[in-house]
Amino acid sequence: MNHRKFVVASTVLMLAAAGIVAGLAFYSNFSATASISKLPAAVGYLPRDVQAVFGMNVQKFVASPVYAQFQKTHGEEIGKNLAEFIAKTGVDPTKDVLYVVAGGSLGSERKGTGVVIAVATGRFNKDTIVSFIKSQVVPIPVDYYGATVLMIPEKNGEKLEKGIAFLSDAEIALGDLDSLKAVLDVRFRRADNISRNPTLGPLIDSLNPTEMFWFAGDAASILSKAPAQTNTPLGGNISAIVNVVGTLNLDDAVRGKITVTAKDEVSAGKLADVARGFIALGQLATEQDPNLTALLNGVSIATDAKEETKLHLVVNFPFELLEKLEHAKPRLKKV
């Protein structure tokens, strides 16, 4: 692995807790322009114009049986690079990263596409981390209103696509330069944060930081900038989705809930019918495999009794089913 790729991979490893996921973070005493109840305050670093946001409670994930299984399967594979990273930076992602959060935009007015923020359980040693980066590549410092962004050269130094910025002793951001500048603008109160977003603000305000994973998206804005999608399981009905929010927890059972808001009641009904049909087809195709059948039986879909434009997808099945499926290839029935 060349130096540039290694330092980028290592940094992502730290920010995404052993390279398993990439996400976004909160944890500090920062008081945003407008606070976000329940969630850790640093979620307020995300700018108003993000269209999708993702959060991960890293320590809850590390304590889960899913992570234990991952370690059993891939521990040796990632062990060497991780050990070197810990030795040179003093950061063990599985112990020293508290939360990871990510926010992104598609076709926003600014050029940036997204940012990842990692929050430490204590403090990051900035000098040690910067020294490690400089031992691998020659970063290009970019001054922005007194804050320094270290851009990591791409390829032969022709491009500077990704960079890193220290938001505080306990928070590090990784992303493209425009996105990092947007986060710094919010961090130092030069711009509005995500709580001012009319779609995502109310969605994230309803979330609980104790969830292992959570996400929210302004589907209407994203789809308006994306190419038309008709070859998806939802077909043309996907354009009826206004926003989506969800949570996922992996412990003794896989538990999750996704709530989709459609533009009207008729669209919500059509989305529900398509989703139920998709599940029924899966049940028919896997009826010879009791484990897959049990998994699909743990998925339910229903429209909201009070708000009929909302569609709820609930997942709840034993974690052991995933372990069984990992060791057995499903026998699919032709339909």
- HEC profile for the chain? CCHHHHHHHHHHHHHCCCCCCCCECCCCCCCCCCCCCCCCHHHHHCECCCCEEEEEEHHHHHCCHHHHHHHHHHHHHHHHHHHHHHHHHCCCHHHHEEEEEEEECCCCCCCCCEEEEEEECCCCCHHHHHHHHHHHCCCEEEEECCEEEEEEEECCCCEEEEEEEEEECCEEEEECHHHHHHHHHHHCCCCCEHHHCCCHHHHHHCCCCCCCEEEEECHHHHHHHCCCCCCCCCHHHHHHEEEEEEEEEECCEEEEEEEEEECCHHHHHHHHHHHHHHHHHHHHHCCCCHHHHHHHHCEEEEECCCCCCEEEEEEEEECHHHHHHHCCCCCCCCC
Centroid of chain to Cα 35: 21
Q: What angle do CA 218, 224, 228 make, to 5 degrees?
A: 120
One digit per residue, pLDDT tens: the chain, 335 residues?
A: 444 443 334 333 334 333 333 332 332 333 334 446 577 767 899 999 999 999 999 999 999 988 888 888 777 777 777 888 888 888 998 899 999 999 998 766 667 788 999 988 889 999 999 999 998 889 999 999 999 999 998 766 667 789 999 999 999 999 999 999 999 999 999 999 999 999 999 999 889 888 999 999 999 888 877 666 555 555 567 888 999 999 999 988 999 999 999 999 999 999 999 989 988 888 887 777 888 888 888 999 998 989 999 999 999 999 888 777 776 654 444 44
The pLDDT, as a whole number, for residue 328 is 63
CA-based nearest residue to 221, from 205, 206, 243, 192:
243
Provide the pLDDT for residue 17: 34
Q: In Å, how far are 11, 115, 230, 267 from 242, measured between CA atoms?
A: 34, 23, 17, 10
User: Looking at residue 21, what is its pLDDT?
Assistant: 34
- Residue type, position 162, single letter: K
The model carries a pTM of 0.80
Structure tokens at 159: 């491009």
Q: How many residues does the chain have?
A: 335
Euclidean distance between the first and the last CA atom of the chain, given in angstroms as a whole number: 45
**What Cα–Cα distance (Å) separates residue 284 from each residue in 187, 209, 292, 323?**
52, 37, 10, 22
Instruction: Give the pLDDT confidence score for residue 16 in this predicted structure.
Output: 38
pLDDT of residue 124: 92
CA-wise closest residue to 204 among 58, 54, 72, 309: 54
- Pick from 185, 223, 164, 225: nearest CA to 48: 185
Given this model, what pLDDT does residue 77 score? 73
- pLDDT reported for residue 110: 67
